[in-house]
């Protein structure tokens, strides 16, 4: 493949071809119907062709286009099976692979950022990329002290490409709406745009990763690789093996699925409490299932800290309080908490009992000792919220998402999507009680004797 397409006109043309392609295939499908093929067969072929083109364009462009594809891929479990099938294979590819950057470009970046003698820093360096991300790709190497390392190299022009892609994608976000029923894609794209500068800053990423690595250094369940070296456009971290979560989703045993799901939930809720940071890119490509130490249970390896939400006090206590009050049926209290936090605008008045009815199915997993996250369950939730005729849809449109909760909301939804892809049975309540402020009632102070 040639260098990352950087010229705005080139990238815009490729992205603009997506909606045109969708329309063209709809015409093709109509022709097939007139020709006698059944609606079901035509629909299946149409979905497959659309998925193929979507992956081809998003994967080739990398940048914001690929990033959006990765973000959407965790929600495919919410789609009806006849739609999800073709998209699943295409979008899942975005979690682990994309066309590579040419070797000469990689070497150019390394020479510019690490110095002309950059090879002396490594005992070995594999020119073939081991993985690709939205703004860079990863190479296996051996550091000069013998440590196996992952070398993340940022694509030249990645920042310009990222902004260009997201601007263009936002223009036809509504066409991507059917990919994720009940979710407005446009705010998702806007939030990605707002975080472009953080995503490109490998110094910020190195700092966030090192804080996690230090906190989880002796953790029996979670592994975060140490940072070895960082400079502009190049980040070197310790290498970890393990089975990518996308492979566990595809072929894992029930035990592996449950373990991965439990640890994913644990990391989501314990990370902010322990580090003051929320890992904000929870797609399966960023996680590995590693063998346990001394024959113990498998551990979760966590990668890519390019996007984090800074939460110095951990997750907001309002979330825990609302969850607990909702599960206790305290509709009025829940409504007051939501109003105070800005989830209900002052100009709007809602029925507290209706709000509680809207929330209860979504928070059902928090009420069970152990909950089985399935595609069927999340499809039911998506359909309930997406159906314009349903009371849930009408009420959901009147709720507001405060900016401070935007990333938390997206990470939570994404994590639930991955848990449903895993078909994992998870003791979610255990993690909430341990790590979520406000979820457990405060113990009353003992009065002095």
Write out the two tokens for 362. Answer: 């979504």
pLDDT value at position 396?
87
CB under 8 Å to 419, separation ≥6 — which residues?
261, 264, 265, 373, 426
Q: How far apart are CA 228 and CA 141, in angstroms?
A: 12
Instruction: Select, from the ranges 69-83, 188-202, 241-255, the one with the highest average predicted confidence (pLDDT).
Output: 241-255
Q: Is 320 exposed, middle or buried (0-12, 13-18, 19+ CB in 10 A)?
A: buried
Write down the domain spans for the chain.
242-449
Categorize the per-residue pLDDT at 161 as very low, low, confident or very high, splitting at 50, 70 and 90: confident
Contact 102, 118 (CB under 8 A): no
Categorize the per-residue pLDDT at 59 as very low, low, confident or very high, splitting at 50, 70 and 90: low
Residue 310's CB is within 10 A of a number of other CB atoms, namely: 13
DSSP type of residue 440: S
DSSP type of residue 225: P
Categorize the per-residue pLDDT at 392 as very low, low, confident or very high, splitting at 50, 70 and 90: confident
Longest dimension (CA), the chain: 88
Please give the residue that has the higher pLDDT: either 298 or 169: 298
What mean pLDDT, rounded, does the chain reach? 82
Residue 306 has pLDDT above 50, yes or no: yes
Contact 144, 44 (CB under 8 A): no
Residue 174's CB is within 10 A of a number of other CB atoms, namely: 12
Summarize the confidence of residues 313-321 as an average pLDDT: 95
pLDDT value at position 30?
40
Per DSSP bridges, beta strands 425-426 and 243-244 are unpaired
* pLDDT tens-digit readout, 19-55: 444 444 343 344 444 444 444 444 445 555 655 565 5
pLDDT value at position 40?
47
Contact 75, 183 (CB under 8 A): yes
Name beta bridge partners: 277.
Answer: 310
CB under 8 Å to 33, separation ≥6 — which residues?
39, 42
Angle, CA of 173, 175 and 178, to the nearest 5°: 105
Contact 287, 264 (CB under 8 A): yes
- For 231, list phi and psi in degrees, rounded to 5: -150, 175
Contact 315, 279 (CB under 8 A): no
pLDDT value at position 293?
86
Please give the residue that has the higher pLDDT: either 52 or 9: 52
Summarize the confidence of residues 274-297 as an average pLDDT: 92
H helices of 232-361, in order, are: 245-251, 254-275, 317-327, 331-341, 352-359
- Report the candidate in 223, 252, 253 with the shortest Cα–Cα distance to residue 238: 223
Please give the residue that has the higher pLDDT: either 392 or 206: 206
- For 426, list phi and psi in degrees, rounded to 5: -130, 135
Angle, CA of 361, 362 and 366, to the nearest 5°: 95
pTM of the model: 0.80
């Amino acid at each position: 493949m040639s260098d990352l397409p950087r010229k705005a006109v080139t990238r815009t043309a490729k992205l603009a071809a997506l909606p045109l392609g969708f329309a063209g295939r709809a015409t093709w499908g109509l022709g097939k119907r007139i020709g006698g093929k059944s609606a079901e067969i035509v629909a299946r072929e149409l979905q497959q062709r659309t998925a193929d083109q979507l992956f081809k364009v998003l994967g080739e462009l990398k940048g914001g286009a690929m990033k959006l594809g990765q973000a959407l891929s965790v929600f495919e479990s919410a789609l009806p099976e006849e739609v999800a099938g073709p998209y699943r294979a295409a979008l899942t590819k975005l979690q682990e692979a994309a066309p590579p950057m040419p070797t000469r470009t990689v070497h150019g970046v390394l020479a510019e950022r690490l110095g002309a003698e950059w090879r002396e820093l490594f005992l070995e360096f594999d020119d073939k990329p081991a993985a690709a991300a939205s703004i860079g790709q990863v190479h296996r190497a051996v550091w000069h002290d013998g440590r196996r390392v992952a070398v993340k190299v940022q694509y030249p022009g990645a920042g310009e490409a990222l902004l260009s892609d997201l601007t263009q994608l936002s223009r036809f976000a509504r066409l991507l709406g059917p990919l994720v029923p009940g979710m407005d894609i446009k705010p998702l794209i806007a939030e990605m745009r707002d975080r472009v500068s953080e995503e490109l800053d490998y110094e910020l990423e190195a700092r966030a990763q090192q804080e996690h690595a230090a906190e989880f250094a002796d953790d029996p369940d979670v592994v975060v690789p140490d940072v070895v070296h960082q400079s502009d456009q190049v980040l070197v971290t310790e290498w970890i093996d393990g089975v990518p979560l996308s492979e566990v989703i595809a072929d894992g045993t029930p035990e592996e699925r449950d373990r991965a799901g439990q640890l994913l939930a644990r990391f989501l809720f314990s990370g902010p409490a322990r580090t003051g940071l929320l890992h904000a890119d929870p797609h399966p490509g960023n996680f590995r299932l590693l063998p346990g130490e001394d024959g113990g249970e498998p551990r979760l390896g966590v990668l890519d800290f390019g996007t984090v939400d800074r939460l110095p006090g951990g997750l907001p206590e309002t979330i825990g309080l609302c969850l607990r009050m909702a599960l206790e049926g305290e509709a009025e209290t829940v409504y007051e908490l939501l109003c105070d936090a800005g989830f209900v605008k002052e100009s709007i008045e809602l029925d507290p009992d209706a709000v509680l009815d809207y929330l209860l199915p979504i928070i059902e997993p928090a009420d069970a000792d152990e909950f089985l996250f399935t595609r069927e369950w999340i499809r039911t939730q998506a359909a309930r919220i997406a159906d314009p005729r349903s009371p849930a849809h009408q009420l959901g449109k009147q709720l507001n998402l405060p900016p401070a909760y935007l990333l938390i909301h997206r990470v939570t939804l994404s994590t639930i999507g991955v848990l449903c892809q895993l078909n994992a049975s998870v003791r979610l309540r255990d993690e909430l009680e341990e790590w979520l402020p406000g979820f457990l009632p405060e113990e009353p102070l003992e009065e002095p004797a």
